[in-house]
Chains A and B, each alone.
Chain A
Amino acid sequence: MNPTTNALRAGVRRGLIELRATFTNGQDLWNYFFPTVVLLVAVFWMRGSTVPGTDFSLGARTLPSALGMGLLFGGLLGLAQQLIVDREDGTLLRAKAIPDGMLGYLVGKLVLVSAISLIGVTIQLTPGLFFLDGLRLGDPGAWLTLAWVVPLGLVATLPLGAVIGSVIENPRNMGLVVLPIFGLIALSGIFYPINGLPGWVQGVAQVFPLYWLGLGMRSALLPADLAAVELGGSWRHLETLGVLGAWAVLGLVLAPVVLRRMARRESGSRVAARRERAMQRVG
């Protein structure tokens, strides 16, 4: 048996076991469903308003955008959070202590975080279909677009999450990442179109993946004529592919280097020291 193949398989099993564990844990379930409920309530109240320049429901436009945001939250923040927690409790060191364990660990995490993101999209989208008009899920084209936007979104965000999770050691410092992302949400047209914002703000937003994740999800789920009110009056699939692809490449180049460096420095005394700090935080 080839050790690498064996570790890849064990990694997939690991992801599935952790998936089952997290979806049978009350605290975790609350963490998944609470934001979903908040989002759905918000979208519900927005369903009567319209997207400026159209008579299309603002709620129906917001839901796909928020799904794109969910991919960023899941892939980037989700993975980063997992890495930080696993380093603090010794899971990562455990993986390091067994042969091919880091490979298995990483595969397991990617499976887990991707699955959580996909489940997140499903549990947000499904209830929305019942009270929002205009989402075109019956159209095969919608599924075709989802089939590349969602995986590309994850490939663009997961490596960034791995980098952030490797660089940040103290869970408290996650705020350094979360706050800018909240700022970015406001700029990226998730809850309201950004056509009215100054050109330079639009420019900044379009550098980051969040804008394109929202746009890609809208292009999949909204009727074709809604493209007219996007920047440039089109769904701009090529540009979406380009920007998300560039972030994916950047992440995939950086992540292995940063992950390896982080893993190399991991040791029992580091875990113990972190634990000490965590105890002080609690106490």
Chain B
Amino acid sequence: MTATDSLDAVAPTGPPDEGLVLDVRDLRMRYGSTDVLHGVDLTARRGEVVALLGPNGAGKTTTIEILEGFRLPSAGTVRVLGVDPARGDERWRARLGVVLQSWRDHGKWRVGELLAHLGDFYAPYATDRVRRPWPVDDLLATVGLTAHAGTRVARLSGGQRRRLDVAVGIVGRPELLFLDEPTVGFDPAARREFHELVHRLTDTDATTIVLTTHDLAEAEKLADRILILAGGRIVAEGSPDQLARRVASDAEVRWTRDGERYVHATADATGFLRDLLREHGDRVRELEVRRASLEDAYLALVHEEETGIRTGRAERVWQQQEEATR
């Protein structure tokens, strides 16, 4: 959050880093007169799992669609596997896996047949290092659909359908996998299985994964790094631990005085309480101090960004972030 954050920065601040699977600088998107993305910076290294977390309409899908090459950005520098997605050729395409939000296609096809067919397209792009495509039987076992190889796609349940989508996303053994809201509509068991699948992918193949979600717990469980996107900008970034520690200092103090309720959010709960009790003494009753969870912090950040009403909490996260990067 230093030089790249300046509003008129158009050129990247340095040469693109070749070690990065994903290198996005000052990404902007504008539809008509509405700005959807206001300068997003985003990087990912090989084997990293990055979660884009944010409420609906925050710009998650727009961001991911630009990275996938399905949408042209209004401004900014984007490098995906070292290539500008707007100019990505089929060779580049073969190294990506894409799982979009809603797919109802190929309903009349059988599961195994569809995977074999789509896998065929990757065969010419096999290298000595990466054997493509993923053999269908292996792949079916990996996503837990072996029993459904002969089932017509339209007859799969929602969770099975989503696992098929993931299977299609990884049939070409991608180096970079995009997962847009992968577990929407999953029951808890399916969700856990899916999380295990993601771990397997990153452990065995060092696949880089960019996923979007609005489920904080999921981001916490899967991601090496979480980026919170709200109102078209990244409002906080860090490992789940870092984010939690950053907001752990933020506490909510509640009390009543003369029958009236008070709520105050503060980074220094002890100091605030000392002052509060010195000033009002016995009149303070029903005192309660609650440490904010990561979820509280997330909701506060998102709320501030969306309403434009600053309660100060988001600002403190920013300040701490700047201190951390200095």
Contacts and interface: CB of A to CB of B under 8 A. Distances in A.
A6 B93 CA distance: 16
Given A2-B124, A25-B108, A91-B105, A98 B118 contact: yes
Contacts of A21: 108-109
Contacts of A13: 117, 120
A163 interface: no
- Which label, helix, strand, loop or mixed, suits the secondary structure of the A interface? helix
Given A17-B113, A17-B117, A99-B91, A3 B104 contact: no
B117 A14 contact: yes
Interface stretch (B60-68, B136-144, B235-243, B301-309): B60-68
Nearest to B122: A99
A269 B113 contact: no
B145 to A, nearest CB: 17
Given A99-B90, A100-B90, A22 B108 contact: yes
Interface string A1-13: 1110011011001
A237 B202 CA distance: 64
A132 B98 CA distance: 55
Nearest to A14: B117
Interface residues of B, number: 34
Contact of A99 (B61, B68, B105, B121): B121
A90 B101 CA distance: 10
B71 interface: yes
Contact of B61 (A89, A101, A269): A269
Given A86-B105, A91-B105, A275-B104, A97 B68 contact: yes
B180 A94 contact: no
A98 B65 contact: no
Contacts of B102: 90, 268, 271-272, 275
Contacts of B186: none
Contacts of A9: 120
A98 B172 contact: yes
B22 interface: no
B70 to A, nearest CB: 4
A6 B121 contact: yes
B168 interface: yes
Given A94-B106, A97-B100, A98-B172, 20 more contacts: A1-B124, A6-B121, A6-B124, A10-B117, A17-B113, A21-B108, A21-B109, A22-B108, A89-B103, A90-B105, A91-B106, A93-B103, A97-B96, A98-B122, A99-B172, A100-B90, A267-B70, A268-B180, A269-B61, A275-B102
9 contacts: A3-B125, A10-B117, A21-B108, A89-B104, A93-B70, A97-B100, A269-B62, A275-B102, A275-B104
